[in-house]
């Protein structure tokens, strides 16, 4: 494993796994970045390399925000992604057998560690300098340990978005995650295999990447598993990855409040009726919160890299993609004008 990126698990005082954290140094080379710039509120999830052919995997999606900042437009190419351009290598039967043999007490932690290792080693990784977290998510709401307020509002039915185009509103938190590939077919061998693994309780969770620029998630790994879960009439297990930043807010010392806390603890500990119920870890947590010097706040972020001539590249690639309409690819007449419109 490269020394310029590593991961570790965060365990709470009660011994419960909360998230897997990835630390990425400035020497780490990402493949995909959110590329920003220009004057038309456009962005790409892409490699820095520009080309006249967007279908080879250098660009995963094109996005733009309407001039009134009310709508978000999403466009992806609708061709299968070659393995060399996948951010996470395909999970194999050997990986599943290793998971079974590990007999992990916490499957989500196991797969979070798996994804952390896979992303660090991937030639087409999404990781870039900074801190990242992989944490659990559920379909009704995403986990309370996630470092982002928006996640608490997300409600997903996990219906596969078949079309390669989409338009939605900023305040709508009920969108489904965006797949980066066209939907597989129900009779695909890999979909059938995943359905079997779901029945065996050996199916890895889908990996989503929180995109704050979309106020939504995109699917990094698990498109075939997504369909397999649908065919099995089960809601998928989900892990969410996001870069995040930590801000330390100065702690305002309040001697009066601190004295009240200490007196309450003293009364609690000295009460003989509480001897059997005293929780030392809980007391330590209270003391730490009472005396710590700052209050950290964690926010999930999607960090954009500004590039020169972003608008020109965006328009060139989108035009190339949409100039040859093929109904089998899900594109329709008028899509080009729709996505190039400046509102």
Q: What is the pLDDT of residues 20-43, one digit of tens each?
A: 999 999 999 899 999 998 888 999
The average pLDDT across 139-151 equals: 39
pLDDT attached to residue 147: 39
SS3 11: strand
Give CA–CA dist 168/161, Å, rounded: 13
| Closest CA relative to residue 150, chosen from 244, 62, 223 | 244
pLDDT greater at residue 39 or residue 44: 44
Q: For 149, which DSSP code? A: S
Of 4-8, 130-134, 240-244, 299-303, the range with the lowest mean pLDDT is: 299-303
Q: C-alpha distances in angstroms, 267 versus 97, 156, 271, 286, 323?
A: 54, 47, 6, 14, 75
Band of the pLDDT at 157, cuts 50, 70, 90?
low
């Amino acid at each position: 494993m490269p020394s310029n990126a590593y991961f570790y698990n965060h365990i709470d005082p009660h011994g419960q796994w909360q998230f897997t954290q990835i630390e990425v140094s400035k020497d780490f080379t990402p493949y995909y970045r959110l590329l920003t710039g220009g004057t038309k509120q456009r962005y790409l999830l892409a490699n820095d390399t520009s080309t006249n052919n967007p279908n080879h995997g250098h660009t995963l999606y094109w996005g733009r925000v309407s001039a009134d900042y009310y709508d978000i437009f999403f466009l992806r190419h609708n061709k299968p992604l070659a393995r060399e351009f996948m951010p996470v290598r395909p999970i194999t039967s050997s990986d599943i057998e290793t998971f079974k043999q590990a007999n992990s007490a916490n499957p989500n932690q196991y797969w979070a560690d798996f994804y952390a290792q896979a992303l660090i080693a991937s030639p087409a990784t999404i990781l870039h300098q900074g801190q990242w977290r992989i944490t659990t998510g559920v379909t009704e709401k995403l986990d309370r340990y996630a470092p982002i307020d928006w996640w608490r509002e997300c409600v997903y039915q996990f219906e596969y978005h078949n079309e390669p185009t989409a338009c939605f509103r900023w305040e709508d938190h009920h969108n489904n995650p965006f797949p980066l590939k066209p939907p597989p077919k129900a009779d695909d061998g890999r979909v059938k295999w995943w359905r079997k693994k779901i029945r065996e309780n050996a199916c890895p969770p889908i990996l989503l990447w929180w995109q704050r620029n979309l106020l939504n998630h995109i699917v990094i790994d698990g498109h075939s598993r997504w369909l397999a879960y649908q065919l099995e009439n089960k809601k998928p297990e989900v892990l969410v990855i996001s870069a995040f930043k930590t801000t330390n807010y100065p702690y305002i010392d309040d001697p009066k409040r601190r004295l009240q806390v200490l007196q309450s603890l003293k009364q609690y500990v000295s009460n003989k009726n509480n001897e059997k119920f005293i929780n030392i870890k809980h007391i330590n947590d209270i003391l730490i919160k009472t005396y710590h010097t700052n209050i950290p706040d964690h926010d999930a972020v999607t960090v954009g890299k500004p590039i020169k001539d972003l608008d020109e590249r965006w328009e060139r690639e989108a035009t190339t993609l949409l100039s040859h309409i093929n109904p089998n690819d899900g594109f329709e007449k008028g899509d080009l004008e729709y996505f190039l419109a400046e509102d």
